[in-house]
Structure 1
Amino acid sequence: MRRSFARRAAVLGSAAALLIGPAALVAQADPAPVQTTDLPAELVEALDRDLQISPERFLQDAARSQDLAQFAEKAREQFAAVFAGVWLDDHGTPTVGLAEGEQFDEARTSAEDAGFAVQRTEDSEHALNDELKALNDWLETQPPAVADVVRGVAIDVINNDVIVRAENVAGLELPEFLAGVRVLFAPTDLTPQPAADLHPVAGTAAPDALLGGDAYASLGQGTGLRCSLGFNAEDRRGPVNITAGHCDPNRAQAGTQWASDVYQLNGEALGQHLGKFEKTSLDDSDYAIIRPTGEAEGRFENNGVRVPGAAPLPITGTADPIVGTPVCKSGLRTGYSCGLVTATSQNVEIGQRVLQNGFSTNLCALQGDSGGTLVTGTLAMGISSASNVGQYGLCEIATIVSGLLGESPELFATPINSILAENPGLTIRTG
């Protein structure tokens, strides 16, 4: 039985050159106005270094992207015959793609009245979905030597066409009716850092707060891993942290007494026992929920994200990924780095698993960044899951090597709103 990647339309866009105290628990409430002074200096430096944009532009584009997300949700139904997707262009202009058709004028008026630019496209999203289906139907008929090379299919919203992600680009020959489909390399696992030298130390405690991006170690089934904390959250039972599912070395026992243990990581040394993995998901969605111990839960009662040891960024809500949106990640290996959302709603095979409804960015992430946070403005967007350069020791090296191969660094992530939707009662801590 062959893989089926076209269960959802995927959207791929081109990249441009590119304190916290106890927090209120608010799910999609209107946040208080955000000031540029809310952004820590390390994040402002990353925005200037990586994207050459100001803090004001970062916050403005984050807000514009969510206006587009709301418009797209309605337009996808109301103007299905002509709607071709939404994105932010290189200048941060919120843009709606529309194909020719009977609904074009009505859709254009609606988009322009909402303050968006309109770009004419050759095909609607519906037409591109049909092309995706044709591609997937063809893959179902292929022998393993061909079908197993393909790791995902997607729609490129900015270029208004279809792409294929393949393990071996040179080894894939598409049929004539798919001659216009572009082929890109597939991602690989963003693996946690293995750690055979980690051992619990009895009686070690640290009362300070733990934030998204801070380091932790997971121990289970004789294996130790180094990862990054994700967003602090809350459910009906109290504080939790949302991180990556592949950071759990004993996934089958999550939620039981044999679940993997989580410890604070202080350099190469283990600190306080923080809790256990209560729920772990790896197929379809890559995320895990860490349940703190009674002694440690107060350390998770904040709404912060940071580079380890630096000033925090207060999280004020959640965001849906929109192509072209500026996004910054934090993690224990590479700290803050900023780029753009390049793809949304992707189904892509990563190793032996399929990440469904994920999104990708043109960010570099390395081993140890797994599970860390991706934000736009002060909004939580996703959890770091996979990278095409995770095996390199430095992002500078990764950028050079991938460039020689005709590629660029990519980080794939699980949308935070998808995780919340799968877990009723779970909310991100905001303030």
Structure 2
Amino acid sequence: MTSSTASAAEPSTAQGTAQELASAMERDLGLTSAEAQERLDHESEARSINSELRSELGDSWAGSFFDGDSGELTVAVTDDAATDTIASAGANPEVVSYSEDELNAIVADLDAQGSQTGDGIAGWYPDSEANAVVVEVLEGQEAAAEDLVAEAGVDPGAVEVAQTSEQPRLYADIVGGNPYEIAGTGLCSVGFAVEGGFVTAGHCGSAGTNVASQDGSGTGTVANSQFPGADMGHVAADSNWVPTPAVNDYEGGTISVAGSQESPVGASVCRSGTTTGFHCGEIRAKGQTVQYAEGQVQNLTRTNVCAEPGDSGGSWLTDNQAQGVTSGGSGNCTIGGITFFQPIGPILDEFGLTLVTS
């Protein structure tokens, strides 16, 4: 989002987009320039293969994960007969016990039971690489996870318990990545421009909340908001706040947004936010349920990218493909952390929005 009263940087070309992302990936993932570019190329191919196979494999689909070192995509499946199809498409097949639908059903059962849980459980998510649902607990609270699994009546053989040092929190103090003010009380970050406004995190403001660009030249109103349950928001902007297909790279430029093709687990992902700027890491899991103090949120994507308060709502992208908006997490950009984002697809579908693209 840019204001029509201020000059805006032109969105990068495709080559410029790759160069800007590669620079951040070199810094945050420890890659050389050539390695970063090669990884982006491999990930682009993996996104296409992933989308094709997910549709073709149907109920036997059990998830996928990308290996950044080898550049290869592995697709898990419950049907032995599907391995040739996977290999022919250019991915590595792996036969597992539980389908994605079965793991998601376990997550749904934990969601229903977990809304009643107290302190000690941070959340849970389906891990496609482990072919299990992981329940995260604070140190010393493993018994709480065992009780949750028993009370939910799910298969304990499909569940793993892992420790975390912090309870997740929301990242809000109250062109993508730019700050906006919430009713004069705090800041969040713009996610992505849509026709007539932008998407952001739902916890940044309820429907009817007035917002403004930080310089005050553009104003808008939260038209749609869901939180908790989901963490999605939509701001309708006035004519002075012009939607542009760009994300702030916090290096003096922007990265163009060409679409919203979903990236697999293991793919690199970068985010933009007003507090900490532009950072990169990897997608670690999808379908995460998070137990925030303010309420439970389902179907978030888990990453190893850092973020801090004020980054909420900001943009997540792989290459030039929009992935989602910042929700919350744990840690910070000094020591590192875990951050969750609300996927972009459900926001566009739920609110009937059209992403602005280059």
Using structure 1 for the length normalisation, give the TM-score.
0.70
- SS across alignment from 2:188: strand
Gap change, CA 1:217 and 1:125, over 3 Å in 2: closer
The 5 A counterparts of 1:186-205 are: 187-194=167-174
Partners of 1:56 and 1:330 in 2: CA distance: 22
Within-5 A mapping of 1:91-240: 91-99=70-78, 103-105=79-81, 107-125=82-100, 128=103, 149-166=120-137, 168-173=138-143, 174=146, 178=156, 181-185=160-164, 187-194=167-174, 211-219=175-183, 224-234=185-195, 239-240=196-197
Change (3 A) 1:171 1:320: same
Say which SS state the counterpart of residue 319 (structure 1) adopts.
coil
| Separation in structure 2 between the aligned mates of residue 419 and residue 59 of structure 1, nearest angstrom | 27
Tell me: CA distance 1:147–1:74, structure 2 relative to 1, closer, same or farther (3 Å): farther
- SS in structure 1 at match of 2:39: helix
1:243 is the counterpart of 2:200? yes
Give secondary structure in 2 for the equivalent of 1:346.
strand
**Paired residue for 1:380?**
322
Higher Cα Rg, which structure: 1
Contact 1:65 1:325 in 2 (8 A): no
The TM-score, its normalising length taken from structure 2, stands at 0.83
Spell out the pairing of 1:15-414 with structure 2 (5 A cutoff).
20=10, 35-39=14-18, 41=20, 43-51=21-29, 52=31, 53-77=35-59, 80=60, 83-90=61-68, 91-99=70-78, 103-105=79-81, 107-125=82-100, 128=103, 149-166=120-137, 168-173=138-143, 174=146, 178=156, 181-185=160-164, 187-194=167-174, 211-219=175-183, 224-234=185-195, 239-248=196-205, 251=206, 254-255=207-208, 259-262=209-212, 264-265=213-214, 270-294=215-239, 296-297=240-241, 299-300=242-243, 302-308=244-250, 310-389=252-331, 392=332, 395-396=333-334, 398-399=335-336, 409-414=337-342
1:158 Cα deviation from its structure 2 partner: 0.7
Q: Which runs of 5+ in 1 are unaligned?
A: 1-18, 22-33, 195-210, 400-408
What SS does structure 1 have at the residue aligned with 2:277?
Answer: coil
Partner deviation per Cα, 1:23-73 (whole Å, 9 max, x = no partner): xxxxxxxxxxx84333354x3221111121423422430341243134124
Between the two proteins, the alignment pairs up a number of residues equal to 335
CA–CA separation in structure 2 for the residues paired with 1:45 and 1:419: 29
Larger strand percent: 2
When the two chains are superposed, the root-mean-square deviation of aligned CA atoms in Å is 2.9
Q: Is the 8 A contact 2:111 2:289 kept in 1?
A: no
1:290 CA drift (Å): 1.6
Q: Which contiguous aligned blocks of 4+ residues in structure 1 show a shift greater than 4 angstroms?
A: 126-137
Q: Displacement of 1:147 after TM fit?
A: 5.7
1:233 partner amino acid: V
Secondary structure of 1:318's match?
A: coil
